[in-house]
Amino acid sequence: MKIAGFSIFVETSHFKPKLIVVDIKPKITPIYQTSVFNFEDLNELELYFEQPGQSYMYTRYGNPNSDELAQEVNKLEQGAGAVVTSSGMSAILAAILGFCKAGDHILCAEEVYGGSSALIRQELTRMGIEVSFLPASDTYSLHEYVQPNTRMMLAETISNPLVQVLDVRRLAQETKKQGIKLIVDNTFASPILTKPLLLGADIVVHSVTKYLSGHSDVTAGVVICEEAEDAQRVLKVMMTYGLNLSPFDSWLAVRGLKTIWIRMRQHCSNALTIAAYLQGHPKVEQVWYPGLEQHPQHELAKEQGEGLFGGMLSFRLKDDTEEAVNKFMRALEHIPFAPSLAGVNTSISHPLRTSHRSLSSEQQQNMGITIGVIRLSVGIEEPEELIAELEAALDNIN
C-alpha cells in the first residue's frame, strides 16, 4: 500500500514479517480505484473541510485520477478551473444547472447535438427552465430572444451534424452585451483547433468520450470555466447530483489525452483529403466540411482553427433514399456504422436515425437532415485505404 509517497512491502524471512520502505516516483499516475479514503482522526477530517483540495474523502467528491484529467484539460483550454463528469451529457447538465433554476430561461442554437436538444427540450423544461431555440440566421442577434430571466446561451464550435462553424468571438460579444453567459460545446473542434474561453466564452464543455480520450473506450465529460468561482459552482452540482467520473475511466482518458496533438493533425489531414474526394464524386450530392473553400464559414474556420478544420464531415448521397444508404453501409468492410465519433478508427453514423431522431420531422427538415445524410468521423488510418473503401461502397449504389 502507499503511505505518504512511499510503498510498504511485507517480506517473509525465516517466517518473520519484515517491512521495507521504498520511495516510489511513478512516471504515470497510478489508478486510485477506491470509493473512499481513510482519515487518522477527527483532526485530519477537519483539515479536509478547512483546506479543500488538500486531501480526499469520497470519490464522488474527488479522486486523484479525475483531478488529473480536469487539470490537463484545463491547461489545454486555458481556463480557471475544470470539473470532470461521467459523460458529455452530464457535463452539459452540470454547466446549465450550475447557473439556472426553475423560472429561468436559456437560449440554444437550433443546430446542436440531438442529445443536447433532447435534454433541454424534454428534461430541463420539466424542471421549470424555459428554452428558446435560435435558427442559424439569428445566432448573433439575440435581442429579440433575450428575456429578463435569460441566464445563458448554448452553442457548438462546430455543429453536429452539418459542421457549421460558430464565430465564437462575435457571439461572445453579443452575450456579454446582453448580460448572459455563453456555454460553448467544443467537442467537434477540440482545444487543438479552438479555445473558446480565449475568444470570450464563459464556459466550455466537452464530451471527453470523443477527441480528448480518442480511442472509443471511455465515456466521460468535462466543464471548463473562465472564472474559478464558476468552476466551484459546477463542482458543487457534480458532487451533489452524483455526476462524477470513475477513477479508471479518468485514467484511460488521461492516457488518451497524451496523444491528442498528433491525433488531431492526422484527423484533420485525412478529413480534408476525403472531403475533397467526396465532393468530386458523381454519387454525392453535397459535402459539409469547413476545410473546403465552398463551405460558407471556410475563412472563419481557417482563422479559428489556425489552419486545421477538424476530423468530422457529413455528406448527402445523390440517391437520397433509405435503400441507397443501406447499400452503402453494407458495402463498407472496415468502416463501421457506429453512432459515436472521434475515435482513431474511421466510422460512419446516420444523424436522422441516431443523434437527431428525437427531433420532429419539421425540425429535421429545417436543418437539412434527410435520410441520405451520412456523418463521417475520419480516423487516422492511411487516407488512400479509406478512399478505396468509400469508392467501393459508393459503386455499390445503383
Catalytic residues: 60, 113, 185, 210
Euclidean distance between CA atoms 299 and 292, whole angstroms:
10
Which residue has 443501406 as its cell numbers? 326
Look up residue 30 and give its amino acid: P
Do 169 and 200 contact (CB within 8 A), yes or no?
Answer: yes
Which residue has 509517497 as its cell numbers? 5
Do 234 and 98 contact (CB within 8 A), yes or no?
Answer: yes
**Closest to 131 measured CA to CA, from 340, 123, 38, 72:** 123
Angle at 157 between CA 346 and CA 315, to 5 degrees: 40
Q: Report the 10 Å Cβ neighbour count for 92.
A: 27
Which residue has 470513475 as its cell numbers? 246
Local structure of residue 135 (DSSP, 8 states): P
Which residue has 446582453 as its cell numbers? 178
Euclidean distance between CA atoms 392 and 6, whole angstroms:
58
**Listing from the earlier edge strand, what are the strands of the sheet with 221-225?**
81-85, 221-225, 203-207, 181-185, 150-156, 105-109, 130-134
Euclidean distance between CA atoms 159 and 112, whole angstroms:
6
Euclidean distance between CA atoms 397 and 392, whole angstroms:
9
Q: Which residues contact 179 (CB under 8 A, 6 or more apart)?
A: none
Dihedrals φ, ψ of 152, to 5°? -160, 170
**Preceding amide of 191 cis, omega within 30:** no
